Structure formats: structure tokens, C-alpha cells
Amino acid sequence: MTDTIQLRGLSYQVQDFALRDLNLTVPKGAVYGFLGPNGAGKTTTIRLLLGLLRPQAGEIRVFGEAVPQDIVSILSRVGYVPERPHLYPSLTVAEAVRLHAAFHRRFDRPGAKDLAARFGLPMHRPLSRLSKGEMGKVMILLALAQRPELLVLDEPTDGLDPVVRRDALHAILDYVTETGATVLISSHLVHELERFCDWIGVLDQGTIVAQLPMQEFKSGLKRLRVTAGTSPAEAPFSVIARGDAGLGGEVWTVRGWQPEMSSWFGDAHPLREVVDLDLEEAFVELLRSARNPSGREV
């Protein structure tokens, strides 16, 4: 098995929101960034993946097993950090760890103790008296101590300060390096994912806009400054946005760019400049092209 997660033709609708014919693949051992604006459907997709919701069409497989039919077996191998804490607030940190350990036969008690010390968690303080950052660390500790083969993280660092985010992400990466676990991390914090994900999937309005290795995503999206009158017909790349650059020129945002493609322009309509996009700019351009298929900026 080379893929940890496979979603095929997944559809789900509630009121005015719908996931439509969703296809998503997370390779085994990948750190997969599931990127999209708020309301795109990331949390709904994760809930379907974990058997918390039932799809209306399509197939979900995790570790090669079917959801929801094999969900008990699947969840025994999954660590999950939800968007909102789900722990009893009256428990202390130590009591929450003991309670969680009782439900997971592979729970690593010594590892949990070490991670609590690394995070500086107050073990005898009730959860209701923890800061948001401390609660975020507790959630990640509990997920990692399960020794999961798959970590599913739904906006795990949203609203946390930079120091807490760094500590949490370093702990996750250390675990992945040690175990080779697969990670699906949902976020709208683009720069956060850019630093450590090796795959990226972009979801917008219930539809996958792009899904590819991070390096290909970053290197293949460019902004070109071209001579006015240049036609993109039969170009070896895809033009996902066009705009007027003034002074007899246009700006094209393109996908699938390779350096050798510069020769396609020729002498009659020379290429003026190739501009790199950071991940946030590439993300915005993909969303813009998905919402405006004509490619013309409005």
C-alpha cells in the first residue's frame, strides 16, 4: 500500500454547503497540507474521513480499509486533534492523560510524560484554567502519545502565539521523523504549511482546486510579464490569470512552468520577466482562477 488515505467521488451536502465529487490522495509517509479558506469544507472532509459523518456518495479508504465499515480498526491507528478541544474541563492535565491512555492500548505513558515536560505543562492544573496555548499542547500531546500511524490535525495551531506554534510543530515533526507516520494537517495559515509539508491539496467551495507535491506547487506557479499581443494558444503551460501590465504588456499567472519554456515565446513576442510566487501568492492565484475560469482578472 502506497497511499494512507484515498477519497474517491466523495459527496456530502448539508443546507447550502456541498462537497462535490471530491478526490484526494495522501501518500504513505507524507506530511500533507490541506489548505483552504475558512468555510471551504476542510473540517467536513476530515469528519467524513474519521467516520463522524456519513457521505452521500463516494468511497473513503484509510490504510486500505473502508470507512465507515472498518472504522474501529482504523481509529485505533489514528491520532486526531480537532479544531476545538473536546476534553472534560474539570479534569487536570494528568487526569486527562490517564483517561486518554485507558482507551488506547498503544498509549506511550513515558513518552507523554516526557512531552509534558518539554511543553512545560502544569500537570495538576484543571483544563478549565489552562491558556489556549497550553490546551493546544495538551491536545497534541494526547494525539502523539497514542503512537499513531496517521495524524489528522484540524487547524491545530489556529490562534496560538508564534512560540507555542513553533513548539507544537517541532514536536509533530520530531514524531514523524522518528516513526515515518503520515500527517494530514488542515490549515488556512499558508506560510505555516510551506515550511514543513511535502504535499499540498487546495480545497475551495467544496472542490479540490489543486493536489501535488509541495516543490512542484511552488516551482510550477509563476507570474510572467509578456509583450502585449502574445497569445497563450498552444502554450506548454496553463494560463490561470491574465491582466494588463501597462506599457504595452500583460501579466500572466501560469501553472506547470518549467525554465526551458522560455524559448516558446520567441523573438516576435519576447518574454520580459519570470517572477517567483511565494506559497500565499500561489494559493490566492489558484483560488482566483477556480472562481474565475475565464482567466481574465476582474
Q: Answer whether 0.85 is exceeded by the pTM.
A: yes
In terms of Cβ atoms closer than 10 Å to its own Cβ (0-12, 13-18, 19+), residue 207 is: middle
Q: CA angle at residue 136 from 105 to 43, to 5 degrees? A: 85
With H, G, I as helix, E, B as strand and everything else as coil, classify residue 69.
coil
pLDDT in tens, 200-251: 999 998 999 889 898 888 788 888 999 888 888 889 998 887 888 777 789 9
For residue 110, say if its preceding peptide bond is cis, omega within 30 degrees of 0. no
What per-residue confidence (pLDDT) applies to 244? Answer: 84
pLDDT in tens, 147-197: 999 999 998 877 778 888 888 889 999 999 999 999 999 987 777 787 789
Q: Where are any strands of DSSP class E within 51-102?
A: 57-62, 65-67, 78-81
* DSSP state, residue 296: B
60 Cβ contact list (under 8 Å, min separation 6)? 6, 7, 8, 10, 48, 49, 66, 67, 68
Q: pLDDT above 90 covers what percent of the chain?
A: 59
Confidence of residue 1 (pLDDT cuts 50, 70, 90): low
Residue range 13-41: average pLDDT? Answer: 92
Query: Cβ–Cβ contacts within 10 Å for residue 70, how many?
Result: 15
What per-residue confidence (pLDDT) applies to 294? Answer: 57
CA-derived radius of gyration, the chain: 22
Confidence of residue 293 (pLDDT cuts 50, 70, 90): low
Q: Is the pLDDT of residue 295 over 70?
A: no
What per-residue confidence (pLDDT) applies to 298? Answer: 35
Structural domains present in the chain: 3-205 (3.40.50.300), 216-291 (no CATH)
- In the sheet where 238-246 sits, what is the strand order? 238-246, 249-255, 221-227, 271-276
Least confident of 94-98, 108-112, 176-180, 284-288: 284-288
